[in-house]
Homo-oligomer: A and B are copies of this chain.
């Protein structure tokens, strides 16, 4: 369905803001990514950002939501027969977007507060991610997991998040390689 001009412009602006936000984080770090900086990069005032997103926290939550939509965590994790390849794909991809990893890790802590706009985002995403991985493991008859699928999923999620912390402070850490070897050790192929 066709949109009115003014509406289409708003949608484009939203995208522009979300992309600029990510760019500023990647360049200056989350700490120094102010509304002013982002607004300046877009060419508007901070108040314009709050017109589209209600607050700074909601803006950044939206960045994460959009990422999940567009480079689809679900398709890769849930639809693949082999959950190992899906998980490692995601990790490899993350290593190419430092700003996104920093944003994710930072909001994961802030969102502990039930009032934080990203609170439900993290609860639901975690839940979906773990059940996708657990289902994949359960379906994969070529491997013999050493732990029940739910615990395996929880451990893999924890390792992925924890390795991101290590990688951010020391980028020589090879996240994908470690997860790869861990999965092979924890759910070896049947002979």
A108 to B110: give the CA distance in the assembly, Å: 13
Give chain B nearest CB distance to A181 CB in angstroms. Answer: 6
Q: Which of B158, B168, B185 is close to A166, meaning CB atoms less than 8 Å apart?
A: B158
**How far is B112's CA from A151's CA once the two chains are assembled, in angstroms?**
29
Q: For residue A94, give the distance in angstroms from its CB to the closest CB of chain B.
A: 14
Stretch touching chain B among A15-23, A37-45, A70-78, A118-126:
A118-126
Residues of B within 8 A of A146 (CB): 185-186
Contacts of A29 in B (CB 8 A): 112-113
Query: How many of A's residues come within 8 Å of B, CB to CB?
Result: 39
Distance from A174 Cβ to chain B, minimum over Cβ atoms (Å): 10
| A50 on the B face (CB < 8 A) | no
Extra contacts, 13 of them, besides A155-B178, A161-B161 (Cβ < 8 A), are A31-B113, A106-B109, A108-B165, A108-B169, A109-B165, A119-B169, A122-B169, A154-B173, A155-B182, A157-B166, A158-B161, A158-B165, A159-B162
List 19 interface pairs A-B (beta carbons < 8 Å), by A numbering: A102-B112, A105-B109, A106-B109, A109-B165, A109-B168, A112-B168, A112-B169, A119-B169, A146-B185, A147-B181, A147-B185, A151-B178, A151-B182, A154-B163, A154-B166, A155-B159, A158-B160, A158-B163, A158-B165
